[in-house]
Structure 1
Amino acid sequence: MKTNRVTLITLGVKDLNRARAFYEAIGWEPSNVQDEVVFYDMNGMKFGFYTLEGLAKDTRKPVEELKTGAMTLAQCFPTEADVDAAFDKALAAGATEIARPEKVFWGGYSGYIADPDGHLWEYAMNPFWEMDEDGHLT
């Protein structure tokens, strides 16, 4: 089995219902909803949101030590217009604008939002990466 892979990403959230409402407003569809966690299917992996209390219990780490914003997640799009549309949709759903999309030093087009819990998302168009019609990097 390859070790260079990710199977599951889970983010801690203060309010699971608020997180679900935000992500559903930008078009995400949950695949499994439980009392303290919700999962989304992501191209062969899972992405989840866990209540901070549940994550603290699971990791045996106090809620006060769980942090957000020290990493970024990203979605790539085929065009700058697609980046702008996704960015504006996220803002309309309740995201906070961090950096409006613009042409960036590495040759692409990129901007950042924070979801309602402060998790940072980059929306980008990378001209050096090819994508298929489902948004998978090829």
Structure 2
Amino acid sequence: MEQRLDFITLSTPDLDAVRAFYRDGLGWTPLLDVPGEIVFFQVGHGLVAGFFEAGRFAADMEGGGAPAAPSGLTLSHNVASPAEVDAVVARAVAAGARPVKEPKKAAFGGYHGHFADPNGVVWEVCHNPGWSVADDGTVRLGPAE
């Protein structure tokens, strides 16, 4: 198996709330939206996030899937500046997110804040001066240069 991730699919008990949060609140554009079933958003180069209605998710797993209860998971969104961290977190909260950690200086030398979406999925919004992506998509994590 290649070291690659193409889809992240999250079960959601309230698809309408998730759609409203990401599409209307954060301004994301759906890649595919099937009312009552699933909504997909392209979230990166070749990467899609899907929010699958919990009952349909369970049926698709034929009883083998976990219930809709995210735990030990953080999705991260890196931005260009601490001011942008503040703006993104504020927009998410205005759209209905629950604040988890107010933006502040991070132990790794950057700046970050956290919020939870309508499912309880925690997002970190981060300015990390050691984060970069090369033209070929290779990520570099390390001290700022």
The TM-score normalised by the length of structure 1 is 0.87
Q: Which amino acid aligns with 2:19?
A: R
Query: How does 1:15-30 map onto structure 2 within 5 Å?
Result: 15-24=14-23, 25-30=25-30
The 2-side partners of 1:130 and 1:63 are apart by 35
Structure 1 match to 2:143: none
Sequence identity of aligned pairs in percent?
Answer: 35
Instruction: State the 1:27 CA deviation.
Output: 1.4
Q: Which residue of 2 aligns with 1:71?
A: 73
Structure 1 Cα separation of the partners of residues 31 and 20 of structure 2: 14
Deviations 1:82-106 (A, max 9, x none): 1100000000000000001110111
Equivalences for residues 1-138 of structure 1 within 5 A: 3-24=2-23, 25-34=25-34, 35-42=36-43, 43-61=45-63, 65-130=67-132
**Which consecutive unaligned segments of at least 5 residues does structure 2 have?**
141-145
- The CA distance in 2 between the partners of 1:130 and 1:65, in whole Å, is 35
* Alignment partners' CA distance in 1, 2:126 and 2:49: 19
Structure 1 stretches of 4+ with a deviation exceeding 6 A read: none
Equivalences, count: 134
Unaligned runs of 5+ in 1: none
1:39 counterpart letter in structure 2: F
Q: Specify the code of the residue in structure 1 equivalent to 2:29.
A: E
The alignment's TM-score, normalised by the length of structure 2, stands at 0.84
Deviates further, 57-66 or 95-104:
57-66
Query: Cα distance, 1:60 vs. partner?
Result: 2.8
Answer whether contact 1:56 1:62 (CA < 8 A) is retained. yes
State how far apart, in whole Å, the 1-side matches of 2:131 and 2:67 are.
Answer: 36
CA-based RMSD: 2.2
Cα shift at 1:64: 7.3
Alpha-carbon distance in 2 for matches of 1:63, 1:70: 17
CA distance in 1, matches of 2:57, 2:17: 17
Q: Which has the higher strand share?
A: 2
Whole-Å separation in 1 of the counterparts to 2:79 and 2:67: 34
Q: Any conservation in 1 of the 2:11–2:51 contact (CA below 8 Å)?
A: yes
